Structure 1
Amino acid sequence: MRLHKIKRPGGLYTFDFSTVAEDDDGTWLLAPIGSPWRAPHDSGRSTVPVVVLLATGRPWATWWVGDPADRRLEIDVCLPPTRIEEGWQYVDLELDPVLHRDGNRVEIEDWDEYDESIRTGNMTSDDAKLALVTAEGCAQLLRRRSEPWLERGWKLLADAG
């Protein structure tokens, strides 16, 4: 299964995953170490395991990243993901709430990319509003850690390890 992440104007980023579960929270994907990825400027294989949770109608995708130097949960704020023939795709809206597991620090990253997308017209004002509201809401969700699926992602990542 493939996940296509579309960055405007950066192009198409493609990741190979396998589906590990589908439930009320969405579709759970796994990319173990060595999984292929492709970007407009490069390609390679993942050096860390990753679990992704996607759901149609929800303007974000959650990535659990098993990087030993910085285990983190990243939320890609995006236009709602859609299923396509070969897997999933979404348009990235730049802002990324991130929970760094060590220290439990939450921050919103990529403000510079967000500002540039607005300035260059690569993001509509409606998409910019959606990105801002969603990023702030997701950052609060990460701070509260009240959703059971937050820990489920870490478990799936550990089980894949």
Structure 2
Amino acid sequence: MTTVRLHKIKRPGGEYWFDFEQVARDADGTWLRGPVGSPWHAPHEDGTSAVSVVVLLAPGRPWAAWWVGDPADRRLEIDVCLPPTTTEDGWRYVDLELDPVWHASDGRVEIEDEDEYEESWRGGFMTADDAKLARVVAEGCAELLRRDDEPWLRRGWDLLDSA
């Protein structure tokens, strides 16, 4: 397995990074997996992951999907972002804050982090175009999660469960 670093930029929060294994690349994008114990860094602390995750990224697509194996709240989170780009050591994207989330326990879909979105937009850390992109993509991804008809949605769970 190839180890790659995912850099997630939050405005104004700073840079977060996660060390993952690249497990596949296909027509849907690049698949990364972070088993329990994977290192991460936030501006205020460092740590290791308490749960397994799988991430799907693709250049040009304004979102990154995160399958989260949290036993208390197994979920699929979509990070709406500026399209991810490859870097020397992995991937990078700028988070646009809105996060459509599907909860496995009850099938509920919600869009989280409205407060962070408003703070970034009103604080001048996001352009009007980025704010509009975030809203349109978040609503589209929430609908995609409700329909649950994309094959890659199940593939993410399969990769998470095989970790």
Provide TM-score, normalisation by structure 1. 0.99
**Aligned twin of 2:83:** 80
**Aligned twin of 1:63:** 66
Q: Deviations over 1:35-79 (max 9, x none)?
A: 000000011000000000000000000000000000000000000
Instruction: Work out which of the residue numbers 32, 37, 48 in structure 1 matches 2:35.
Output: 32
| Number of residue pairs aligned between Structure 1 and Structure 2 | 160
Amino acid at match of 1:66: G
Deviates more, 1:89-98 or 1:110-119: 110-119
- 2:15 aligned with 1:12: yes
Instruction: Work out which of the residue numbers 113, 125, 128 in structure 2 matches 1:125.
Output: 128
**Aligned twin of 1:2:** 5
Q: CA deviation at 1:3?
A: 0.1
Q: Deviations over 1:8-56 (max 9, x none)?
A: 1100000000100000000000000000000000110000000000000
Amino acid at match of 2:152: W
**Aligned twin of 2:142:** 139
Task: Tell me the percent identity.
Answer: 74
- 2:51 aligned with 1:52: no
Q: Deviations over 1:111-130 (max 9, x none)?
A: 01111111110110000000
**Aligned twin of 1:41:** 44
Q: Deviations over 1:70-108 (max 9, x none)?
A: 000000000000000000000000000000011000000
- CA distance in 2 between counterparts of 1:118 and 1:84 reads 26
4+ residue runs over 2 A deviation: none
Q: CA deviation at 1:153?
A: 0.2
Gaps (5+ residues) in structure 2? none
Provide TM-score, normalisation by structure 2. 0.98
